[in-house]
Each structure stands twice: as C-alpha cells, then as structure tokens.
Amino acid sequence: MFKNLISITLCLIVCPLLVAQQPAQSASTPATNQTALPAQQTADAPQASAIAERNLAIKNARTIHINSDTVYLTVSTMDRALMRQKDWEKLGLNIVNNPDGADLELQINRLVFTHIHTYVLTDKATSIVLASGRVRAFDGVVASGPMAEQIVKALAAARLPGRPASSDRGL
C-alpha cells in the first residue's frame, strides 16, 4: 500500500511537469509577421520617448543636492569627488545644500554588511530615475572616485555636445 501511495504521488508530481515542458506549437503565417512589425515599432516608441524625457530632465537641470544615508560615504566626500572630475565644470551644475531648491537629487547608500555603495540620481520634479549604479570599495573615500566618475559620465552623455547619449547607464 505504501508503495502504491508513493507511485501515485510521483505520478501527480511528474505528469504536470512533463506537460509544462512540451514545446508550444505556433502557426506562423506571413500575415502575422507583418502585423508584428508595427507592434514592435510602437513598442520602441515609448522607450525612445522615455530616453528623450530623461535627457531633457538632465539638460534642464541647474542644481543638484547630495543626500547620503550612510556614515561611510559623507556628502562632503562625494561633493569633493564630483568636483575633481574633469568634465564637472563643463556640466554647469551647482551643488546645493537645500534639498527644496535642487533640480536633481543624488541619493547615496551602502548596503548593510557589505562593501557595496549604491547611488540613485533622480529628477526632483518628476521623480524620474536618471542614473543609478553601484561601486564595490572598502570605504566611502575609495568608493567616491569611481562613483563620481559614473555620475559625471551619465550627466555628460546628455548635457555635453558631441557625446552620444548611451542607454547603458548605471548598473
């Protein structure tokens, strides 16, 4: 009896898995392929408008506020690291202490019990995430350099003429 119970249980477990793994057969006709192209083009349109909206938010920004949720990477450390970047002066952004008067907000954090420092750059008016990323470093002073480089690179792609805006920002 116990043997029959085990075989029934295995059958109930394995049979749905076998059915789920069978490949789905699809009938592809030229008419369905022609209707798929306009759907794909309309699917790319929202992505293009989202990238354009993100680039417009970066271009229109004049001030940035830095907020740090970790004691390992302070606001002043990140401030200095950003200003040391070679393209920072060309960007024309000012770092402000008042979060209400800023166009952009840079949120910095460190994951608990790790050496991973993360950042998120958002537009304060629309809450659009403009850039995000992470840097693995032992402390915040070491992490601030590569993090500032990533941030300036993302901002420069949209603000500086002659630089192509890439879609591989952040992580």
For residue range 44-73, what is the model confidence (pLDDT) as tens digits?
A: 778 888 888 999 999 999 999 999 999 999
9 within a domain of the structure (yes/no)? no
86 within a domain of the structure (yes/no)? yes
| Continuous H helices in the chain | 2-20, 30-60, 75-83, 88-91, 140-159
Lowest mean pLDDT across 15-29, 60-74, 133-147, 155-169:
15-29
83 within a domain of the structure (yes/no)? yes
Q: What are the φ/ψ torsions at residue 135 (nearest 5 degrees)? A: -135, 135
Percent of the chain clearing pLDDT 90 (strictly above): 62
Instruction: Kindly give, in sequence order, each residue whose CB lies less than 8 Å from that of residue 107, ignoring residues fewer than 6 positions away.
Output: 67, 69, 119, 120, 121, 122
Write down the pLDDT at residue 118. 97
Number of folded domains that form the chain: 1
Lowest mean pLDDT across 13-22, 54-63, 147-156:
13-22
Q: What CATH number does the domain containing 128 carry?
A: 3.40.50.11830
40: amino acid identity, one letter: Q
Distances (CA, A) of 39 to 10, 33, 35, 43, 45: 44, 10, 7, 6, 10
For residue range 117-129, what is the model confidence (pLDDT) as tens digits?
A: 999 999 999 999 9
Contact 65, 85 (CB under 8 A): no
- For the chain, the C-alpha Rg in angstroms (whole number) is 25
CA distance 94 to 98: 12
95 within a domain of the structure (yes/no)? yes
Average pLDDT over residues 8-24: 51
pLDDT band at 9 (very low <50, low <70, confident <90, very high): low
110 within a domain of the structure (yes/no)? yes
Quote the tokens at residue 20: 């789920």
Distances (CA, A) of 52 to 73, 128, 165: 32, 12, 10
Write down the pLDDT at residue 112. 92
1 within a domain of the structure (yes/no)? no
111 within a domain of the structure (yes/no)? yes
93 within a domain of the structure (yes/no)? yes
Residue-range definition of the domain harbouring residue 119: 62-159
Is the model more confident about 90 or about 16? 90
Instruction: Kindly provide the b/e burial profile for residues 128-138, where b requires at least 16 CB atoms within 10 angstroms of the residue's own CB.
Output: eebbbbbbebe
- Which pTM was predicted? 0.69
Write down the pLDDT at residue 14. 52
Write down the pLDDT at residue 88. 96
